[in-house]
Structure 1
């Protein structure tokens, strides 16, 4: 059996400046730019935890944008494995914006992503469990089972929806064929 790991063993911290081309028409960071940063960080946390060459994003469970990030801010993404199933890993990400002029720091976003570790044949691998140490890690770990159950329900609903989603080209809907 695999030994469990502490969340700090999968911790990835990445800080960047906000560039003008990262901004939307409100002069705040594009959500998609932040989503890419989150996925990159979370991938590294998953790979560090599982110690494998390849981990894939199974889902982006939630991203809560809490505070806008502007060009005068730096953006720091911290991620770590917060909960595991037998073959999946929940990665918690927090985004801290820091005003580079004043030093004020604020929680800009939080996110949960789920990853699966793959072997050389692209098959899911078992992953180590989690041994939380801090109050934050313990809270995330103890609430992780409920989030995993919610993901399972949502995945079943997505599969059900997938069975009825139309694949026709929108411009060909209702076209009469002879």
Structure 2
């Protein structure tokens, strides 16, 4: 069975949430765990949209919080698949906060998550390749193999000496 490649932008999901009192900490900022929950949902939807199958979260890369999102502000999450491997997909997310009164939008964070597609029996299944079109999509696509190798090395599923893409980053510079 040959899967037809899909454009990265075809998996685009845009999710919007309002920060309510139950979503905040004692400083009136959106709790990080709540934002990660929303990011997991948005990225899972992008992965499912890409492969037309149920997916599960396989890994979450480092999430750095650049700017807090305040009570009463709006959260905008944009997620799309950057690259597909055999049964897994990397999803990139950008997160913005928006103050609806001041009508200003600001970057909160961005992150990568990896999802695995499942067949009806709960086993991993092949996913379509990704076709990057924009310059940003092409950069994310090219960097995805290095990020994948880093994830595999850090999880102990790949030996550092086998991470050729990562080694090239360091040894090509010498």
TM-score range, shorter chain: 0.7 to 0.9
- 1:87 alignment counterpart: 87
Residues 129-172 of structure 1, C-alpha deviations (whole Å, 9 max, x = no match)? 111111221111111110011011011179xxxxxxxxxxxxxx
Q: How far did 1:72 drift?
A: 3.4
Q: How far did 1:63 drift?
A: 1.4
- 2:61 alignment counterpart: 61
Please identify runs of 4+ aligned residues in structure 1 that moved more than 6 A.
none
Question: Does 1:135 pair with 2:135?
Answer: yes
TM-score (norm 1): 0.84
Q: d(CA) in 1 for partners of 2:20 and 2:40?
A: 19
Q: d(CA) in 2 for partners of 1:157 and 1:140?
A: 23
- 2:166 alignment counterpart: none
Which of the two has higher C-alpha Rg?
1
Q: Matched residue of 1:63: which SS?
A: coil
- 2:52 alignment counterpart: 51
- 1:36 alignment counterpart: 37
Q: Matched residue of 1:21: which SS?
A: helix
Residues 89-142 of structure 1, C-alpha deviations (whole Å, 9 max, x = no match)? 001111111111111111101111100001011111111111111122111111
TM-score (norm 2): 0.86
- 1:123 alignment counterpart: 123
- 2:11 alignment counterpart: 10
Paired residues of 1:95 and 1:108 also in contact (CA < 8 A):
yes
Question: Does 1:114 pair with 2:107?
Answer: no
Q: d(CA) in 2 for partners of 1:2 and 1:22?
A: 40
Q: How many residues align?
A: 157
Paired residues of 1:72 and 1:101 also in contact (CA < 8 A):
no
Q: Matched residue of 2:82: which SS?
A: strand
For structure 1, list consecutive stretches of 5 or more residues without a partner in the other structure.
Answer: 159-178
